Structure 1
Amino acid sequence: MTTTVSAPAAVSTSQARSARRGTVLVLVSAAGFGMSAVFAKQAYAAGFNVPTMLAGRFALAAVLLWAVVAWRRAPLPRGRALAVSVGLGAVGYALQAGFYFGALARIDASLTALLLYAYPALVTVLAIALRRERPDRRRLAALACSAAGMLLMLGAGGVGGSVATGGVLLALGAAVAYALYLTVSAGLPAGLDIFAVTAVVCTSAAVSLAATGLATGSLHAPHQVSGWLWIVLLAVVSTVIPIAGMFVGVRDVGASAAAILSCAEPAVTVATTALVFGERLSPAQALGGLAVLASVAVLQLRRRVVAAPAATAAEVSCDVPSPAAGDEHVRETPRTPRRRGGAAHWGLRPLRPGGVGSRPVGAGRTVRVERPVTRGGAHPGPETDRGPRHRRGAGG
């Protein structure tokens, strides 16, 4: 007896496996980034200060990423792309990390993580200001939800005092710096390899932070040698592994789903810091944090606008939003169906010149996908051996 498996069933099974794998990898990435707060606070307790910790973290992460680049034989950015990548690391990512981990030294990690997640709304504001996106009702609703959540978190008790106020300002500064970082990185060419770009970014950040620490005399060895263990964990568990997990996972689940799954990051931060340090959010802060995370989900809602079919050709708008705040419409028209094995298969032809790659969904139908942004670098470029190409978005 022989068993015959139809091609659509085999494709469906393969897609289901890829979706499960991608979901796991994105959640692993979010968990790795979310645990960085615990590692940082443990490093502080071992005698590290912020400049020394960050310089060590980025230096070790850069070494590991360059090893990955050499193993994959990935092409390096050149010319303007290289200059932008160096600037993103030396200025943008160094500032964002300095603000974020500086805030961790002053206020609870759970509040810091939730305040950082104001950056998707800030990216939306920047995109609207730069006329890259239009302020439709969905985006405005997400901005209102994020603003209400921020007011709840900042208006709740537990954030008074000069030290706490400074921590809140640093956390908000990290959100602003990251929004600017993502907005600038959106201008990088789509074909860049994510590991190569991230290696350049981490190297530039390490050099910038080390030079700043030497100039200010703030670099010093920790009081406890065991403190270096937390730096290794920061570099491996909270930098390299999350970048790789997000890069691979987003090819399987898509940019929109990956962005929503990434909201597990602050949840991991809240849970781990509560378990290790006993930190607790007040009910109002927790409600505000949920509102901020809900705004991220609202920004990723997919909208499918299907026009009425005409006699000759029907136009379909397939939207897959970027992890930042908004989707770009790609106008496509179906070609004349061709008979294959007695069944008509529709192909979609892009009207926009210079179209990008697509990923199959179902049998014979394709939709556009946009590239996500990882916390460790710029937008991922296309994988050379397999997987779809990703269109760059506004970030977030």
Structure 2
Amino acid sequence: MTSRIDTLYGAAFVALSAAAFGAMAIFARYAYAGGTDVLGLLTLRFAIGGAILGWTARRRGMVWPRGRALAAIAALGAVGYVGQSLCYFIALQHAQASLVALLLYLYPAFVTVLAAWWLHERLTPVKCAALVLCLAGTALMVGGGRGEPLGIALGLGAAVIYSIYIVAGTRATRGIDPHVTTSVICLVAAVVFGALSLARTAAGAPPHWPATAGGWAAVIAIALISTVLAMLAFFAGLARLGAARTSMLSTLEPVVTVTLASLLLGESLSAMQWVGGASVLGGVLWLVRAGGGASEDAVALEANQ
């Protein structure tokens, strides 16, 4: 009975995390409308979110990495996480939020290919068929999408960087509590974006902070809901469900984004995009069932979006 209750709680936590992550693209569009730019948004997101996650990790008495382990995780944050965040949030200015979210969710397919090439994992016929399904779905989404080529390219770029980050981070974070890993990565990202903000200010082109109450509310929602709440709920679900089931439930995220984009932003997907999006998500679920990138360490890194 206890196991069943734990499973239900775990599913609820992962669904909550997926909904919080899925809402991030919508919050970002409102933040841009409120006067902020990408650098201002990301600086505030990681300064607020990183501080809270770091504080909660210390309050729980978690052991922080040192030496090479700390340096490796810091590099993940400074290069991989910062690069992925920049691509994703700039893409949201040049393409539909729903399209960008679906393109980002190609990362399990890229992880599978990278793991085969870099970690010498076997590409089974099932994995190959799932990859073909993802590729066909992407072609349909891009062909039927409404967005500038720059937005589509950056959306794909975010997925590629994210997949490299996960594959490289799987080894670097082994044996380290995922909450601590996430705290370090967010704090490092806050330092990088803070430094970029200072450099731009010194050059006479400071980042744009929110100019309206709605803009501030959207930025704070990204920091508290789509960062802190989303990550803590993800880890709570992962501890109860394990890697494979957590990965499968996390595919709710782009569904949430597409639904909210339709309801709140008035975005509509063409019939071709619906077919393409369904193909991508179907291929991703197929990959997860086949074991593509579903180790505990890899899935824990997926909390960093």
TM range (shorter): over 0.9
1:236 partnered with 2:224: yes
Aligned partners of 1:121 and 1:376: how far apart in 2? 17
Per the alignment, residue 110 of structure 1 pairs with: 98
For residues 218 and 295 of structure 1, what CA distance do their matches in structure 2 show? 43
Aligned-partner Cα distance in 2 for 1:152–1:191: 40
Shift of residue 97 of structure 1?
Answer: 0.7
Which AA in structure 2 matches 1:373?
A
The 1:196/1:126 distance shift into structure 2, 3 A limit, reads same
Given the alignment of the two structures, is residue 224 of structure 1 paired with residue 192 of structure 2, yes or no? no
Residue 270 (1) aligns with residue 197 (2): no
1:60 corresponds to 2:28: no
State the TM-score, normalizing by the size of structure 2: 0.94
Q: Determine the structure 1 residue equivalent to 2:57.
A: 69
State how far apart, in whole Å, the 1-side matches of 2:114 and 2:298 are: 18
**d(CA) in 2 for partners of 1:190, 1:325:** 14
Percent same amino acid at aligned positions? 39
Return the offset for 1:105.
Answer: 1.0
Q: Give CA deviations for 1:68-97 in whole Å, capped at 9, x if unaligned.
A: 112101000111110111111111101101
Q: Does 1:143 align with 2:118?
A: no
Task: Provide the residue aligned with 2:18 in structure 1.
Answer: 30
Please report how far the alpha carbon of residue 236 of structure 1 lies from its aligned counterpart in structure 2 after TM superposition: 1.0
Q: CA deviation at 1:251?
A: 2.0
CA RMSD of aligned residues (A): 1.7
Structure 1 residue 376: deviation in Å? 3.9
Q: Do the aligned partners of 1:210 and 1:219 also contact (CA within 8 Å) in 2? A: no
The residue that corresponds to 1:325 in the other structure is 293
Q: Report how far residue 65 of structure 1 moved.
A: 0.5
Distance in 2 (alpha carbons) for counterparts of 1:271 and 1:131: 36
CA offset at residue 289 of structure 1?
A: 0.8
What code does the residue aligned with 1:294 have? G
Matched, 1:255 2:182: no
The corresponding residue for 2:154 is 170
Cα deviations by residue, 1:102-132 (Å, 9 ceiling, x for unpaired): 1111111000000001111111111111143
Give the Cα separation in 1 of the matches to 2:35 and 2:97: 18
| Cα gap change, 1:63 to 1:139, in 2 (>3 Å) | same
1:24-58 alpha-carbon deviations (Å, 9 max, x no partner): 10000000000001111110011000000001000
Uncovered stretches (5+) of structure 2, i.e. residues with no partner: none
Give 5+ residue unaligned stretches, structure 1: 1-12, 303-320, 328-368, 379-396
Tell me if 1:373 matches 2:289.
Answer: no
The counterpart of 2:112, out of the listed 115, 124, 131, is 124
The one of 13, 16, 34 aligned to 1:46: 34
**What's the CA shift for 1:219?**
1.4
Contact 1:27 1:262 (8 Å CA) reproduced: yes
Q: Distance in 1 between matches of 2:35 and 2:157?
A: 25
Say yes or no: does 1:204 pair with 2:172. Answer: no
Measure how far apart 1:326 and its partner are.
Answer: 6.1
Q: Check the 8 A contact 2:62/2:180 in 1, yes or no.
A: yes
The change in CA–CA distance for 1:300 and 1:376 in structure 2 (over 3 A counts) is: closer
Structure 1 residues 131 and 372, CA, compared in 2 at 3 Å: closer, same or farther? Answer: closer
| TM-aligned CA deviation for residue 374 of structure 1 | 4.3
Retained in 2: the 8 A contact 1:39–1:233? yes
* Cα distance, 1:189 vs structure 2: 4.4
Structure 2 counterpart of 1:332: none
Aligned twin of 1:312: none
Larger radius of gyration: 1
Alpha-carbon separation, structure 2, partners of 1:174 and 1:301: 24
Structure 2 distance, partners of 1:117, 1:124, is 13
> How far apart in 2 are the matches of 1:181 and 1:142?
22
Structure 1 runs (4+) greater than 4 angstroms displaced: none
Trace 1:81-100 onto structure 2 (pairs within 5 A).
81-100=69-88
User: Structure 2 counterpart of 1:48, which letter?
Assistant: T
Structure with the largest fraction of helix:
2
CA contact (8 A) 1:194 1:377 kept: no
